[in-house]
Structure 1
Amino acid sequence: MIDLGYSLSRRFPDPPQLDYRTADVHALRHDLFCGDVYIADTETDREVSTAWGWVPVLDFAWALCDIVERLDSDPRGSRSARPIHAELDFTESTDRMLFERRFGWVDIAADWMPVDEAPLTVNHAALRREARDFLHDLIADLIDLHDGLGDNPAIWDLQARFPRI
């Protein structure tokens, strides 16, 4: 089972005077909603997580959904032995989260993990479902916290692009 989660930072609060209805995609992805994120495998009790406090959590969720779709680019799908690679780079550092799909499984590692630590290995279909659920749950939480965010067309587009499975 995969668990995706986040926590918002108190050190980097969102500006209260911002009109979230009109915030552009760059602001939504890079300037707002900072905190930390994690991907956990609850069966092995292991996780890949950040502890920096400045990760844009909406951007992480958005990028993760993009990556999961990119990992599905081989027409043979889960029958493909050819590895497909993707990476999620964090804007304010050189750190990356690395993804490799082979057959129906995705290995998830990060630059900051110890070299001798094995990557998390998760089912691709489960990762797709959990990533989309995480995105929608995160958006719902952020809409509760920020008036007008639910009326932002970029948020509507994002929800339509990655519907719940």
Structure 2
Amino acid sequence: MIDLGYSLSRRFPDPPQTDYRTADVRALRHDLFCGDVYLADTKADRELSTAWGWVPVLDFAWGLCDIVERLDQDPRGNRSHRPQHADFDFTESSDRLFFERRFGWVDVSADWQPADEPPLSFNHAALRRETRDFLHDLIADLTDMHDGLADNPVVWDLQARYPRV
């Protein structure tokens, strides 16, 4: 089972003068909503998490949805034996998450985890469902906390591009 989560940082609050209704893509992806994120395999009781406090959590959710779609480019889908790769680069850091899909499974590892530790492994369809749910749940949380964010056209486009599965 997959668990995706976040916590917002108190050390890096959003600027108080932010107009969330008109915030552009750059601000939404890189400047706002900083905190920490995790990706866990609850069945194996293992996780990849950050403890930096500055990860833009909306960018993380958005980026995961992009990656899951990129990993689905082979027309053979779950029958494809050729590995498909994608990386998630954290903003303002050299740290990365690595994704490799082969057949219907996606292995996820991080460059900060020990080399002898095996990657987390998820079913691709389940990962797609969970990343989209995480994105929509995160947007719902953020729009409850920040007036005007629900009226931002970038947020509308993001929700339309990655509907819940």
Runs of at least 4 residues of structure 1 off by over 6 A? none
Corresponding residue for residue 116 of structure 1 = 116
Cα deviation for residue 135 of structure 1 reads 0.1
The share of aligned pairs that are identical, in percent, is 81
Corresponding residue for residue 40 of structure 2 = 40
Q: Distance between the aligned counterparts of 1:75 and 1:149, measured in 2?
A: 37
Corresponding residue for residue 27 of structure 2 = 27
Corresponding residue for residue 64 of structure 2 = 64
TM-score normalised by structure 2 residue count: 0.99
Whether 1:106 and 2:112 are equivalent positions in the alignment is: no
Q: Which amino acid aligns with 2:133?
A: D
Unaligned 5+ residue runs, structure 1?
A: none
SS at match of 1:88: strand
Whether 1:87 and 2:87 are equivalent positions in the alignment is: yes
Q: Deviations over 1:103-162 (max 9, x none)?
A: 000000000000110000010000000000000000000001100000000000000000
Q: Distance between the aligned counterparts of 2:50 and 2:102, measured in 1?
A: 25
Unaligned 5+ residue runs, structure 2?
A: none
Q: Which amino acid aligns with 2:141?
A: D
Q: Which amino acid aligns with 2:75?
A: P
Cα deviation for residue 17 of structure 1 reads 1.6
Corresponding residue for residue 11 of structure 1 = 11
Q: Distance between the aligned counterparts of 1:18 and 1:54, measured in 2?
A: 17
Corresponding residue for residue 128 of structure 1 = 128
Q: Distance between the aligned counterparts of 1:139 and 1:70, measured in 2?
A: 22
SS at match of 2:30: helix
SS at match of 2:4: strand
- How many residue pairs are counted as aligned between the two chains? 165
Q: Distance between the aligned counterparts of 1:97 and 1:115, measured in 2?
A: 13
Q: Distance between the aligned counterparts of 1:156 and 1:73, measured in 2?
A: 25
Q: Which moved more, 1:106-115 or 1:13-22?
A: 13-22
Q: Which amino acid aligns with 1:152?
A: N
Cα deviation for residue 77 of structure 1 reads 0.1
SS at match of 1:75: coil
Q: Distance between the aligned counterparts of 2:66 and 2:100, measured in 1?
A: 14
Corresponding residue for residue 150 of structure 1 = 150
Q: What is the RMSD of the two structures over their aligned residues, measured on CA atoms?
A: 0.4
Q: Which amino acid aligns with 2:17?
A: Q
